[in-house]
Chain A
């Protein structure tokens, strides 16, 4: 079943310097248990689409349905807090908080008690293959790969099965890239997440279950592993 559906979504950026029609009638859906790669050249709109899926804004027209409910009718902060887990290229960890505090922060916002949150943080840290000793470190003391795993652990604190990643390996070396992608793949296939990764990296795209391409604000399905087909055009 599709956890996320995009229906006729259009979005335009308006700034002091320019107006960009970033998304022009996007239609697609995403299911749990799959690893999606969203590729496209710079400026194609893929990050914009991810941001809308993450609940950072609402489309100008069309709708984004999460488990059948339109995000336009939801409280976006609530949606981001409980349903849409996002990880970024620059990790976006809070510099004044330790690893444990970064992970427990969204849980505490959701009302989870401190002790329980800390226990969960310890579990998640293990799950992302980090030693427990990192719990008391600050982000600045970790490597890029470690920081990204912390970001993933933080994202995994939600009960929701939607994980969005905007160029998660952009700042990592190949070894760490491999490890992060393995992790994300594991989340998708083993834990039943719908993992949608925006990436430039074709090696990442090669490992995806489905590859979608954004070009000039329009999306097309390129490849579906399950259907073992290369698909051109769009559905």
Chain B
């Protein structure tokens, strides 16, 4: 109690100093509590973001007609089998929490057939045709449709022209008595007249375990029984086109659309845990499916599923499963494009799909923070023909800005702690060390050391308690405002790196930053601060109160260690400076620690700033900007006409690293191998062009559905490979991609699928049929011999063949010649991203406008720079704000240097007075103290640099060096100012003040 009362008195009797420290401690308490509250709020928000958002990566097979196909094909099936291990490896990458296979199937509800526009095979049909005759004039069979076993449109009773191609010679139909009827499978195709054209095509079916090829047609004089294979073929077509999508999920929360707002429960409930585990016969319907089936929650529906052959719906297995009953537990809202969805519970999320509808293989569920790392690593391992698309579902946009703010909050707290250290050092030097005699007098008078310690502690606590209360009050008032500023700052400086993530799949709910004030945090932080103050005071008090024996022992040790300085040849002032440094005890240690902490602080801040800059440079240097010419519909780059002179403007630009252009020759049909690589000649039937108009029309229509033959100067950059870095091509020895821009025009690069299907090897010579337009109208059919110089691995099911396009820009080409050239596609890659604006000028000069703008009929160009620009501009903005903030923090620390050093210098009054009394001049005293500080600063800086480089592994850059020198300079200025203030006082007054 006595010590406490004395402590109070000591506070009130040094009002100026007490008020100063009260203010400082109030400010520091406010900073500490605010910093803690902000850090806690941000940490809490980030934790919420982690659980609120679900980053996913969708694995897709990139089909040529994606996303229209609803079935898989053999190539995909084989590819899935071949790459099963790769996908398993990807699943095991860091960041992947689960893999949900796209367990979707085709199903039928109670036989209900939905009607919608998203049909896979709208031209497919199974018809029964009667009254067939052969029309010599048109070269086609003509009949009347007796029944559409399957067709998207009911053409019963209408006349149909059946193409003779694929059929046996004309006598087959013609020999039958009328009114014979035939069932045939095939598809409608358009002709140039208004009647219906039908192209028969064979189908294969699996019946009772046996694969059976259905003939193109069959006599149906005896009718078409229920179990007839043609009815099964019709049912399969119906299923493909009109079935419902049945999705199996192991957790509705994970199912992609249901994370988003629009997929709400309209009626009933979702699944419970047991229903997933036991895979019970319950289901959820989308609104559309419910409407079609006229079912609601609680009703029972009967579901049948398309059976698959190892996951493929194809004509070999049109079996429909047995119908099973499912109870509808709930109805879900549908997105606009929902054709009808049924959801079933499943226990194992990774169980691979029976037959997914569409090209989605599955979805990886990712750890939000590691999503990008996973994406980059997984992308490296993806086999050809697959695409991985990362959707962070809004996580990056929500959380990233706050991750940056968290680091800033941590830095702010670090600065606060540094300032606390500085203030406490000064406080203890002034309040405790200077009052060493007071403490000694107390103990000499009989008080215990605990009493003296209590005296100092109570002084410290007494100043701190009101400071803590005021500081917490200030924090309480400011917290909301500060958090709002944090929120605004986060939004302003937010960086969303859109190079990797495609954002969200649909509407994203946003988790708002709405922290709740927690007074417990304030109390905790303040209590921590108080403990630190008491610890500091205790350490300094103990140092001041070392008992004589200990003092003697310690001083003997100190004397022994510093004997070399003492007996050295150093001059008086230098010697005193070194001795004062070496024997300074707590003062030496605390100042060195402060300087070391300042160096660490500078280097840490600088390292952070450099990291931001480095990220920006990294994005700039690693971003590859591609571009392509297009028509006004944007991505559709076929059917363009780009004039040669316009293309030349781009191809010759310095900004362009490579330019790919090409044009379509025709569609082609492979006719056969005429010569193998080893020189063996082969004979194929000669092509006889059709004579009649209808035959020409038919062949033309057929050819137009066949793959495409393109002329191009390179494969990489061609439309099929626009996104691929380097397509996989096996070349004939002596040939490379460069030959595509050469003059040897009769070489070709074929897709692997086509080569394997037809037994074509590299080096073989093949014949292809193609068509051209005649000068005055009409179509001409020709054949052409091409030597296979390369075989490429396609990324889609398109079977495009490529032949060379000799570089039209080689040498000086007259402009008139250039103008006569035209291309159907043009893609380019920029050398680097630094000259985007120059590239825009090049495009503009070449006559392109950006695809986003509309205007007169012109060429459009798309620069795929949106992700790059949005990322770099937000990064640059962030960097600007960070630099500003860091500048402020640096200034704060530098101010602290001046303040602390000045106060510490002013605590050397005793030594100043004694030295003055024994005749030391002002210059001598000044230089001694300054030298001592220089020593402290050098040691502190060296230790700081060693810790920075050796422990933290930060770079000690030129900027760090400049900041450290500035700190040192300001510390010395503060010291000088403190000493000079004392030296201004008269010697007599100085002695009397002691």
Contact = CB atoms under 8 A, between A and B. Distances in A.
Nearest to B575: A108
A13 B98 CA distance: 87
A54 B559 contact: no
5 contacts: A77-B916, A79-B919, A101-B575, A101-B579, A140-B548
Contacts of B548: 140
A114 B922 contact: no
Interface in A62-89: 75-82, 84, 86, 88
Contact of B921 (A78, A88, A92, A98): A78
B572 A80 contact: no
A82 B555 contact: no
Contact of B914 (A94, A98, A136): A94
A138 B548 CA distance: 12
A34 interface: no
Given A77-B921, A108-B575, A137-B555, 17 more contacts: A56-B986, A56-B987, A57-B988, A77-B922, A81-B920, A82-B919, A86-B917, A92-B914, A92-B917, A101-B579, A106-B918, A108-B572, A109-B573, A109-B920, A118-B567, A140-B548, A154-B918
Contacts of B575: 101, 108
A77 B552 contact: no
Interface string B541-572: 00000001001100100010001001111011
Contacts of A118: 567
A51 interface: yes
Contacts of A140: 548, 551-552, 555
Contacts of B921: 75, 77-78, 81
Contacts of A80: 916-919
B676 interface: no
B988 A109 contact: no
Contacts of B113: none
A81 B566 CA distance: 21
A51 B986 CA distance: 12
A2 interface: no
Interface string B902-925: 000000000101111111111010
A96 B580 contact: yes
A105 interface: yes
Specify which of B555, B559, B988 lies most central, judged by the most chain A CB atoms within 10 Å of its CB: B988
Contacts of B752: none
Interface in A27-64: 51, 54, 56-57
A214 B859 CA distance: 111
B14 to A, nearest CB: 15
B584 A81 contact: no
A56 B991 CA distance: 9
Contact of B919 (A51, A77, A100): A77
A97 interface: yes
A141 interface: yes
Contacts of A97: 576, 579
Interface of B: 548, 551-552, 555, 559, 563, 566-569, 571-573, 575-576, 579-580, 583-584, 911, 913-922, 924, 986-988, 991
Contacts of A79: 919
A101 B582 CA distance: 14
Nearest to A113: B569
A140 to B, nearest CB: 6
Contacts of A109: 572-573, 919-920, 924
Contacts, number: 88
Contacts of B573: 109
A81 B920 CA distance: 7
Contacts of B924: 109
A196 to B, nearest CB: 16
B583 A96 contact: yes
B602 to A, nearest CB: 31
A88 B924 CA distance: 22
Contacts of A108: 571-572, 575
A106 B988 contact: no
B982 to A, nearest CB: 15
B566 A78 contact: no
B237 to A, nearest CB: 102
Interface in A146-165: 154
Nearest to B911: A94
Nearest 5 CB-CB pairs, A to B? A81-B919, A108-B572, A80-B919, A77-B921, A57-B988
Given A56-B988, A56-B991, A86-B917, A98 B566 contact: yes
Nearest to A109: B572
Specify which of B555, B567, B584 lies most central, judged by the most chain A CB atoms within 10 Å of its CB: B555
Q: Is the interface of B mostly helix, strand, loop or mixed?
A: helix
Contact of B917 (A56, A75, A98, A138): A56
A114 B568 contact: yes
B913 to A, nearest CB: 8
A79 to B, nearest CB: 8
Interface string A154-190: 1000000000000000000000000000000000000
A78 B579 CA distance: 24
Specify which of B911, B916, B921 lies most central, judged by the most chain A CB atoms within 10 Å of its CB: B921
B439 to A, nearest CB: 14
A136 B559 contact: yes
A154 to B, nearest CB: 7
Contacts of A75: 921
A147 to B, nearest CB: 13
A86 B918 CA distance: 7
Contacts of A137: 555, 559
A108 B559 CA distance: 19
Contacts of B567: 114, 118
Nearest to A140: B551
A29 to B, nearest CB: 22
A105 B572 contact: yes
A34 to B, nearest CB: 24
B920 A101 contact: no
A80 B924 CA distance: 14
Contact of B555 (A77, A92, A105, A138): A138
Contacts of B922: 77
Contact of B987 (A57, A93, A100): A57
Contacts of B988: 51, 56-57
A56 B985 CA distance: 11
B922 to A, nearest CB: 7
A190 B132 CA distance: 157
Nearest to B914: A92
B623 to A, nearest CB: 62
A138 B991 contact: no
Contacts of B583: 96
Nearest to A141: B552
B991 A78 contact: no
B321 to A, nearest CB: 96
Contacts of B555: 137-138, 140-141
A26 to B, nearest CB: 16
Given A96-B579, A97-B579, A78 B919 contact: yes
A88 B911 CA distance: 15
Nearest to B910: A95
A77 B920 contact: yes
Contacts of B563: 136
A81 B652 CA distance: 87
A93 B918 CA distance: 10
Nearest to B437: A90
A78 B580 CA distance: 24
Contacts of A96: 579-580, 583-584, 911
Nearest to A139: B555
A51 B920 CA distance: 16
A77 B912 CA distance: 13
A92 B913 CA distance: 9
A140 B551 CA distance: 8
A77 B576 CA distance: 18
A150 B986 CA distance: 26
A133 to B, nearest CB: 12
A22 B373 CA distance: 84
A140 B988 CA distance: 25
Contact of A98 (B559, B571, B991): B559
